[in-house]
Amino acid sequence: MVRGLVGFLSIADNNYYKEFSIFQLAGMLMEEAVAIGTFQSVCGYLLLVLVVLLTVFIIPVVQSVALAYHWFKPMNDKERKKSAMLIEVFAAWQYAEVFILAMFFASW
């Protein structure tokens, strides 16, 4: 029996190819947490999955909406500065994506 997500993904032979979405990987990681069976592992993996989904999916969508708002909405200087600051916060979160994904893969 192959245990763990990396073990599951590594059972493929040379002719086997399967695509995974970030949601499927998050689901497989949660199944692994449930298989471990402790409350701490489920909570830890759930927090990790939520941070990864937030970083990979939700923040880019919100950042796109904020950029569109900043581009198309007529604003005075004060509103423009607040909007630019919000966009910079989302951009900084995007820069942290590499480290968050590294934690995600390291947990396998």
Q: Hey, is 19 helix, strand or coil?
A: coil
Residue spans of the domains in the chain: they are: 5-106
- If one counts every other C-beta atom within 10 angstroms of the C-beta of residue 66, the result is 17
Q: Which residue has the higher pLDDT, 73 or 37?
A: 73
Tens of pLDDT, residues 50-108: 888 888 889 999 999 999 999 999 999 999 999 999 999 998 888 887 887 787 777 76
- If one counts every other C-beta atom within 10 angstroms of the C-beta of residue 32, the result is 20
| Separation of alpha carbons 23 and 29, rounded Å | 10
∠ CA 102-105-108, rounded to 5°: 145
